[in-house]
Structure 1
Amino acid sequence: MKLALLYAFRSSEWKSCISITDNIKSSYSLLKHDIQYFDYDHLKGELHLETLADQLKTFEPDRIIFIDHRPTPKQLLERLLKRNIDVPLIIHLYGDFSVYCNDWLEQEALLKNFKVQFITASQSQLKFVTQFLNKSSDQVKKVSFAVDHKTFNHSEKDITQFHTFYDIDPLMINFIYAGRITNQKNIIQLANIFKHQVLTKLPSANLIIAGEIDDQGSPFHGNYLAAGTTQLQLENSLGPNIKWIGSLSSEELAVAYNASDCFISLSTFHDEDFGMAPIEAASTGLPLILTGWGGYNDFIRQAPHSRKIDVLSSNHHFQFNDQQVINSILEQPKPSIQDKTTQSKTINEQFSMDIISKEIDKIITNKNIEQFIGFNRLFWEFTRCFRENPSKPFADKNNTNKKIYTECYSAYTS
């Protein structure tokens, strides 16, 4: 089978998307098919798109596969039809599917000319996308993003140097969060819970925070932050037992995980379709404390020794109970080397590129990929929120849009 893999050769501005795209490419490279890679970059203009369409016509693929988080296929579909290219489309969806929902709605008529298979990375994202289609079908499948287990595995190498460099006591129980430092991930809330409530009961605990500052706030709800706000909030939350160690490379992050005892994230971010940081942490053997939100739910089901923080809807927002967070931290034991080794092996077996490539192969070789039948009324209502108020789609005073947000994102709570 001839496969055309489309993605932007220019690296994404999102660090997690870079590793995800690289891992998807690596998973496809294990398949025994004729694969060619094509640069699909929405910033390169009309000539680039025309040239790409001509290249695809010459290659004559059996499947055209979109593996990047943007752009959507919209700019290319019309050019494919003009060249009578009507092969099935395989589209890997990312968490920003909702952000670009109007792009998807605008290309609905074009998509109906193709057989389409959407692939999401988690069961929650599958539910989220499926609810917007005209009928419940096999149009959406789930295949997890793969983990680079050559980098993220259990190892005792360099952890002593890590503890020494960052002045961390290895005899204490060390919790770690890694990812963007943003209100979307509730990291300031976590730091304050740790500082004011956990440490009074468990002074032998540390919280290590790794990542870049992000002042995006919560645009979906109209909460914007001035530049520097998040860093100021974070610095006010730091202390002897709460350390911010900045942004780390993948190799440095693997050492940080191996030098820690538990990964924790309280994210209720609307793009949390998967979550590379927690699954990479679990691949090194760390137990997880996670909100039951989005892709995190898959890890809670699959990773041994995970603890789930319930996420509930309240006043058209999703939130968790602080006391459940505190209890989960206080009850978390320090894992043994054997515990870490066992979990690392379990996770790397489930999320290895070899396993993921086999799951992908079953989907793309399916001869019964369905014709796209369109989006439903709920999706139209969801996109309307963005058309009416692009800067804060779910911040309306009469709560109509807030109710739509709650209804649609309830899929992320299971």
Structure 2
Amino acid sequence: MFTFDFYGTGASIQIVHLGKRVLYDYDVVDGCLSFLWKKGVNFNNLVDKMNVLIAEDNEESRYLLKKLLKGYGHEITAVPNGVEALEQAMAQPPDIIVSDIMMPEMDGFQLCQECKQNEHLKDIPFIFYTATYTSNEDEKFALSLGADAFILKPAEPDIFVRKLSEEFEKAKLKPLVSDKIVPLEPSHYLTEYSKRIVAKLESKIAQLDIEIAERKRAEENVRQSLLEKEVMLKEIHHRVKNNMQVISSLLNLQAGYIEDERALDLFKECQNRVRTMSLIHERLYQAEDLASINFTEYIRRLTGNLLVVYRIDTGIIKLNIYVEDVFLDINKSIPCGLIINELVSNVFKHAFPEGSEGEVSITLTEDKVDKKYTLIVSDDGVSFPEGLDFRETETLGMRLVNILTEQLHGTIELDRSGGTSFKIVF
């Protein structure tokens, strides 16, 4: 219950509420009493605790508001949009409503309009707390709807809470003073509401135009950078290929001065390994996609080169290639290519004694579910020696095959039935 003590013709009014004396400054504005809390009064000790309804679509902002107001002992209900706020207010009218403006389903302007036109909600203080609608025209329109305050985010916590408490206390005086809100005419409301929405949309569109332009510039910079790196990578692959060809040519030149057959074979094997790696870089240099190469084409080029080097008569020894459209990156291509080089070279050197006929098969498949590749190199010639452990052999070729399989994080198996078959899964 309130009692009033006026001090002569001055500008102060003392209100006694629940046995507590509170001092206000007051003035007459448009025929109505306007109150201003007297500075120096510890309002937090005088104001009743409030039941606050918060309408805020931003989850983080909603959480911070709840924590702030709960810290002052107020009861808080927080919802993400105007529709839920209106339903909550109708079901359980709060002491005060704090609302953002830009929200889905029903924005703050619409929520305020609905509340102020509702007989049960019209006297509840309505506070706008916004970071998007910040112009003087936005504030003027908000107050014309009947809002009691218009606060810009982010406000200082003590100022924000004080403003809510002031509006809550003022609401208690409304039955005692002639402060009746005159609602806007529907046509005028729609006109002003549309103006505010259009103004905000125009602002957002202008902002988006700027952001789109900035993004296009950033994308162009990235595209240009990628293009430069692609050119650089192509040049690197080209130079590596050329350097390897030089090495291969030097080995070939040196081999011309060697009469020892064993030494000549070693030079030839080294030359084949260099060509195998050189061919990878050649394919990458020519490919549109620098990240991987078509391994089907690569195997055909590689084995074709080996047929020439070992002077294989394809009428006597038939080469079968069963390879899906498999694309491997450089980290898999080089080890896999060297493995094929070593295994096929061994077949051409040892599996078919001079003049004997036979077949050599290369199979490469991809398990798209397990993301695994299976390479099988097999022949129907002389089997791999029974007493020889291919994992412990001292020959450089088989040692390389085992090392490269480990590099691929793969497994290797040998089947000696009906010839020789190496199966590598990686």
TM-score normalized by the length of structure 2 = 0.28
Larger Rg: 2
Q: Which has more helix, going by share of residues?
A: 2
More strand by share: 2
- The TM-score with structure 1 as length reference comes to 0.28
